[in-house]
Amino acid sequence: MAKTSNLYARIEPETKEQAEAILASLGVPVSNAINMFYKQIILHRGLPFEVKLPENKMQSFCEMSGDQLHKELEKGYQDIMEGRVKPARDVFAEIRKDYGI
């Protein structure tokens, strides 16, 4: 059966590049991967994977015991001491990007 339909989609450039690099290393053309995805949707009669919100595993500081809070603060201090930090402008740029602000 000849392929006669075109698909146009907007996607984040980084996501596209990363996915295409993986597909290229697998030797799978992007159009074939999209076709496989659509066929899986048909076979599953829905998305071929579970879609749900992650459980909120982060506990509010207000809910922590004194010991738990101390451990979290100690982790942050160790991150600083070992150079695992980001400038605030970079963090806010990531947040703006993630939320389309």
Q: What is the pTM of this model?
A: 0.51
Give the pLDDT of the chain (101 residues) as one tens digit per residue. Answer: 666 789 999 999 999 999 999 999 999 999 999 999 999 999 999 999 988 877 766 677 788 888 989 998 999 999 999 999 999 999 888 888 888 78
30, 23 Cβ separation under 8 angstroms:
yes
* End-to-end CA separation in angstroms for the chain: 44
64, 58 Cβ separation under 8 angstroms:
no
